[in-house]
A and B are shown apart, each in its own frame.
Chain A
Amino acid sequence: MKNILGRDIPDYIEGYGQVRPFKGAYASIDPRTRTTITRRSVRPGNKLEPGEAKLLASIEEAVEKTGLRDGMTVSFHHHLRNGDYVTNMVMKVIAEKGIKDIHVAATGIFACHEPLVEYIKSGVITGMSVNYISPGPVAKAITKGLLPKPAVFRSHGGRPRAVEAGDLHVDVAFIAAPCCDNYGNINGTHGKSACGVLSYIYPDAQYADHVVAVTDNLVPYPACPIEITQDFVDYVVTVDSIGDPNGIVSGTTKVTSDPIGLKIAAAAAELIDETGYIKEGMSCQTGAGGTSLAVAAEIKKRMQAKGVVGSFGAGGITAYFVEMLNEGLFRALFDVQDFDLVSVASAGSNPKHMAMSGSLYGNPHNCGPVVNNLDIMILGATEIDTDFNVNVITGSDGTIMGASGGHNDTAAGSKISIVVTNLLKGRLCVLRDKVTTVTSPGETIDALVTDRGIAINPRRTDLLEKLKDSRLPIMDISKLKEIGDKLAGKPDSIEFTDKIVGVVEYRDGTVIDVVRQPK
């Protein structure tokens, strides 16, 4: 079967199930039924006997109490990023107890999760689903087809949708809790392992059968502030450390100093300005990369020059957006994760810096996620094709090196979504005839800004009309591709086996593409 983007996808995928084919970015918005779950009741204490204690002695005890057994799904979140100890700690206990055939539903996987590769090889882990993965040992293992079932790639909005719908049923959710009391009230912004908001795990707290908080900072009841409340948490386990502070922050997130990146950023900001998006009440989201932040810096200059105040900044928050909030350039921030210590501190102290759940961020099947209110979205791309389809999952050799994150959610919701990238990365041209893997469909991508030219999606006739007298180097996307190909040469095509190692779900749960194992 081919879906509407011409991607070759089987009707049924072994280890995944029946495929609902992608039918367009906005095709699936009919009302949805949410799943029901069974949760235990925790007894109060009374005059005759003590209440039930939630505090357990060890992760091992939590595994026993929750009845974790073969074939179950356990979930983790990635706000501790490359410093996370909890996923490895829990999986080690599960492996030692001889439990097999586990599905690991992690919001994000980093290089620090290398120990999982052994558990994949030994059959402890047989399936995985992620919304984010960094290039590293686990990504390599998935590319090599070591998992018996294909990995499922979802977006930050698609995962909570799947959890709420029951498509992704979580048996036990483990929450890394930087601050927690003995009855399970949690926040992520206080304590020695403070990592900022814990947004991506809220749906798991609400919809998993069992919820375990793992903390290295047990505080007297009640924890304050409270981000995840006690009514969702079954057990609390204390450990020495939940994360390595050096890995928790992604280093300093700074505006790039690379002249090519700055040139791209200036052109993107000019494009945004000429199309009328720099205005009172505007909202904006960028990635945390150097070029994305350079666009934010250029937008900021133009906001200041016009004297406009934006409504909100959103997404993964960096010091740069905190600075814009504090300077009064935005009235508020919507935050799903914090990349540096300045953002962590702001999230924990400034009421205008608001946490949003993954569902509120990008779930298409609720009463409207925040991406629907977003004006300007600055995106990256590993590859983009002449239909504006974007790949952020695989390199052009088919190796898994990323996942959607919020890419396809924000592209679909925002008024203008702009991909900013160098046209050539090394000798690889970002523009392809067909992307290796589709993450975000071309109908949701409005413009491509590169160092060698700008292409506007022809569907956006309104933008083309506004830009008709522009002095920006705007050209047809195929012309831009010719420039790239002339410099880089035509690549030999990569050969793939028939083995499907990954299934890429669009935010609405339909399958937009599959990842096949490269030869």
Chain B
Amino acid sequence: MKLNKTGEAGAAESGDILVTVAPSEEPGIQIELSGKSVILKQFGRQIRELIQKTAEENGLENARICAKDNGALDCTIKARVRAAIQRAV
């Protein structure tokens, strides 16, 4: 899937995640994840993996994904990544 522009979904609210997907020259998917350290220490690895998996499932090849987490559950993260990708096409 080719991205033409930047797509954003989600919010900075508690329980949500703000995901920005942008086209990239470099091969592969680069994920930049930020959020509360108490959550990242315990769930950072899993959130990263979920974003990667969701991006791949949606046919993303080269992209930069910036995710600002504020305690979102997996279902929310998945939905936000998908929506951001669709808005970036």
Contacts and interface: CB of A to CB of B under 8 A. Distances in A.
A489 B38 contact: no
Nearest to A425: B71
B15 A426 contact: yes
Given A395-B38, A399-B38, A427 B45 contact: no
Interface in B12-52: 14-15, 36-39, 41-46
A492 B43 contact: yes
B42 A492 contact: yes
B79 interface: no
A427 B71 contact: yes
A491 to B, nearest CB: 4
Contacts of A491: 42-43
Q: Report whether over half of chain A's contact residues are helix, strand or loop; otherwise say mixed.
A: loop
A489 B15 CA distance: 14
Contacts of A425: 71
B38 A397 contact: yes
Contacts of B14: 426
A489 B74 contact: yes
B70 A428 contact: no
A395 to B, nearest CB: 5
B28 to A, nearest CB: 24
B85 interface: no
Question: Which of B38, B39, B44, B70 neighbours the largest number of chain A CB atoms within 10 Å of its CB?
Answer: B38
Interface residues of B, number: 17
B73 interface: yes
B72 interface: yes
Contacts of B15: 426-427
Contacts of A29: none
A426 B39 contact: yes
B46 A489 contact: yes
Nearest to A399: B38
Contacts of B42: 396-397, 428, 491-494
B64 to A, nearest CB: 24
A427 B73 contact: yes
Contacts of B43: 427, 488-489, 491-492
Contacts of B44: 492
A492 B46 CA distance: 9
14 contacts: A395-B38, A396-B38, A397-B37, A397-B38, A397-B42, A426-B70, A427-B15, A427-B71, A428-B42, A487-B73, A488-B73, A489-B43, A491-B43, A492-B44
**3 tightest Cβ-Cβ pairs between the two chains A and B:** A426-B71, A491-B42, A397-B38
Given A426-B15, A491-B42, A492-B42, 7 more contacts: A395-B38, A397-B38, A424-B73, A426-B39, A427-B72, A488-B73, A489-B43
